[in-house]
A = this chain, B = another copy of it.
Amino acid sequence: MLIKLVPLTRVTQTFGTTRTFVTTPGAGLVEAPRLVSTGNHVNRRSLEEVGERMVKIRFCDDTSSKYPYVWLRENCQCPSCFNSDAVARLFLTDDLDLHVRPKDIQVCDGSLEVVWNDEHTSRYTGEWLYQRAFTPQARQLQRSSYRLSRMMWGSEFEVPRIDYRSAMEKDETMLELLVLLERYGVVILTEASTRLGSLIDMIERIGFVKPTHYGKDYQLKAVVSPNNLAYTGSKLGLHSDLPYTQDPPGTTWLHCIHQHEGKGGDNTVSDGAKGVSILKERHPDHYNTLLHTPIYFQDQGFHTYDFYKITKRNTITLDEEGQLNQIYISSQSRDSMMDLDPEQVYDFYVALKVFNDILIEHGITIKTKSGEILALDNTRLLHGRKSFDPATTIGFRHMHNAYIDWDDLRSKRRLLQSSMGVSLT
Binding site for B on A (CB under 8 A): 15-16, 19, 53-54, 65-68, 70-71, 74-75, 83, 85-94, 96, 98, 131-132, 134, 139, 142-143, 145-146, 207-208, 211, 213, 225-229, 231-232, 234-235, 237, 245-247, 250, 292, 294, 296, 298-301, 305-314, 317, 319-321, 331-334, 336-342, 345-346, 349-350, 352-353, 356, 360, 405-408, 410-411, 414-415, 418
Contacts and interface: CB of A to CB of B under 8 A. Distances in A.
B320 A313 contact: yes
Contacts of A337: 19, 131-132, 142
A308 B15 contact: yes
The oligomer's copy count stands at 2
A331 B229 CA distance: 44
A100 B296 CA distance: 23
A407 B68 contact: no
Contacts of A234: 83, 90
Contact of A226 (B75, B86, B93, B213): B86
Contacts of A245: 405, 407
A374 B410 CA distance: 32
Nearest to A294: B320
Nearest to A208: B211
Contact of A341 (B134, B143, B213, B305): B134
B132 A300 contact: no
A349 B100 CA distance: 12
A311 B320 CA distance: 11
Nearest to A50: B342
A234 to B, nearest CB: 6
A86 B67 CA distance: 57
Contact of A88 (B53, B229, B311, B356): B229
A105 to B, nearest CB: 16
A333 B92 CA distance: 11
B145 A68 contact: no
A415 B306 contact: yes
A309 B407 contact: yes
Given A407-B213, A407-B245, A414 B308 contact: yes
A391 B83 CA distance: 18
Contact of A89 (B334, B352, B356, B418): B334
B346 A68 contact: yes
Contacts of A342: 54, 65-68, 134
A63 to B, nearest CB: 14
A56 to B, nearest CB: 9
A415 B213 CA distance: 14
Contacts of A320: 292, 294, 312-314, 317
A13 to B, nearest CB: 12
A336 B294 contact: no
